[in-house]
């Protein structure tokens, strides 16, 4: 996959089918657009191209405290590659860039610089200054500059259209099953393992404390989760706590720590990836350390039962 951060490095080819968007989550709705992009490009013998933005537009346009990303740029690129995308252009989204008229963007970037025979868009696609660009205006420009516009209908599950907003809401509610269903894969986050105060080791449940790579990456609701952990290219099961360690009154900021089953290697400063399978329970303050250990043992058994009963969804 060719990844460009400078549009001047892109070779113009008129036979190009492309799509544009932030693609946060690369969820089933996005995947439907990507699949249509691939079909159209193969059918017409054209190259396929995704144009995306970094940072997320909402980060630049003043909604800093409202932005919670489902996927980092690195995760999106990984998903694009797994879906056989040939070319990705990452445009630097700035306030100046946000002031571009939608026609300027289409003509100066997509038509003149990349080349475009067809553009694939989602059912609610808007772009450009004041979001004036839409299916109608695109079709008008397409007639003038000789490219086709294909609009993809929403991907719906039980009559509910899949969207990034709905997935964020599911995560905030701790609904991992709905999150993964809408994503079409397990929700994941990655980060480096930091040194902790070893409370878990003292009670027989050693944990890896995770510093998430991107501060804007969303975390699920506080609680205990059954997870899959990738360490040094190998996969393990584990259980993760997201919260403030209330039994020990030891965390002033929310922590993410994972107990990896049957694992005792030292992995400080190494990057690991967590994929969420299910939510076990809320975070709770226990009256004693013994009560906490009993609950953790029960939580672990729930995870073991899920593994043994093969009730783990495959994405």
Residue range 135-153: mean pLDDT, rounded: 94
pLDDT band at 308 (very low <50, low <70, confident <90, very high): confident
Percentage, residues of the chain above pLDDT 70:
93
Tell me which residue of 75, 146, 61, 153 sits closest to 111, measured CA to CA: 146
pLDDT at 249: 61
pLDDT at 218: 96
pLDDT of 205 strictly over 80:
yes
pLDDT band at 124 (very low <50, low <70, confident <90, very high): confident
Tell me which residue of 313, 27, 20 sits closest to 163, measured CA to CA: 27
Q: What is the pLDDT of residues 46-86, one digit of tens each?
A: 999 999 999 988 888 875 556 799 999 999 999 999 999 99
Residue range 177-200: mean pLDDT, rounded: 91
pLDDT of 32 strictly over 70:
yes
What span, in angstroms and rounded, lies between the C-alpha atoms of 106 and 150? 15
pLDDT at 246: 66
pLDDT at 241: 95
Residue range 26-54: mean pLDDT, rounded: 97
* Residue 250: both structure tokens together: 């030891």
* Residue 6: both structure tokens together: 């400078």
Higher pLDDT pick, 252 / 153? 153
Q: Which residues of 261-278 are buried (b: 16+ CB within 10 A; e: fewer)?
A: eebeeeeeeeebbbbbbb
Q: How many CB atoms lie within 10 A of CB 184?
A: 18
What span, in angstroms and rounded, lies between the C-alpha atoms of 111 and 105? 9
End-to-end CA distance of the chain: 22
Residue range 192-206: mean pLDDT, rounded: 83
State the residue for tokens 């190998």.
Answer: 234
pLDDT of 311 strictly over 70:
no
Residue range 218-231: mean pLDDT, rounded: 97
pLDDT band at 33 (very low <50, low <70, confident <90, very high): very high
* Residue 85: both structure tokens together: 């995308």
Q: State the chain's mean pLDDT as an integer.
A: 91
- Give the list of residues 6+ apart from residue 64 with CB closer than 8 angstroms, or none: none
* Residue 175: both structure tokens together: 């609904």
pLDDT at 313: 59
Q: What is the pTM of this model?
A: 0.91
Query: Which region among 49-58, 242-251, 278-287 has the lowest average model confidence (pLDDT)?
Result: 242-251
Higher pLDDT pick, 227 / 251? 227
pLDDT of 139 strictly over 70:
yes
What span, in angstroms and rounded, lies between the C-alpha atoms of 191 and 211? 5
Task: List 283's β-bridge partners, or say none.
Answer: none
pLDDT at 199: 75
Structural domains of the chain, ranges and CATH numbers in brackets: 2-160 (3.40.50.620), 186-308 (2.40.30.30)
pLDDT of 23 strictly over 90:
yes
């Amino acid at each position: 996959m060719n990844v460009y951060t400078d549009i001047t490095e892109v070779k113009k080819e008129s036979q190009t089918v492309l799509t544009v968007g932030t693609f946060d989550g690369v969820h089933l709705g996005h995947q439907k657009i990507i699949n249509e992009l691939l079909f159209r490009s193969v059918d017409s013998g054209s190259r396929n191209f995704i144009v995306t933005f970094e940072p997320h537009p909402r980060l630049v346009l003043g909604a800093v405290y409202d932005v919670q990303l489902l996927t980092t740029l690195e995760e999106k690129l990984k998903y694009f590659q797994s879906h056989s995308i040939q070319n990705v252009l990452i445009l630097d989204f700035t306030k100046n860039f946000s002031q571009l008229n939608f026609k300027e963007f289409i003509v100066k970037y997509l038509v003149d610089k990349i080349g475009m025979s067809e553009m694939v868009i989602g059912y609610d696609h808007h772009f450009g200054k004041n979001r004036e660009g839409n299916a109608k205006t695109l079709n008008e420009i397409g007639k003038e500059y000789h490219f086709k516009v294909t609009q993809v209908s929403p991907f719906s599950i039980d009559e509910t259209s899949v969207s990034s907003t709905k997935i964020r809401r599911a995560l905030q509610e701790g609904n991992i099953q709905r999150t993964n269903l809408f994503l079409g894969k397990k929700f994941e986050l990655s980060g480096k393992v930091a040194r902790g105060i070893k409370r878990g080791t003292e009670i027989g449940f050693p944990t890896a404390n995770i510093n998430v790579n991107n501060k804007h990456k969303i975390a699920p609701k506080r609680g205990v989760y059954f997870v899959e952990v990738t360490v040094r290219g190998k996969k393990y099961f584990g259980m993760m706590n997201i919260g403030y360690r209330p039994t020990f009154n030891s965390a002033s900021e929310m922590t993410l720590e994972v107990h990896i089953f049957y694992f005792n290697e030292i992995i400080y400063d190494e990057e690991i990836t967590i994929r969420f399978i299910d939510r076990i329970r809320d975070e709770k303050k226990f009256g004693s350390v013994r009560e906490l250990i009993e609950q953790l043992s029960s939580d672990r058994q729930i995870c073991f039962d899920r593994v043994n009963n093969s009730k783990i969804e495959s994405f």
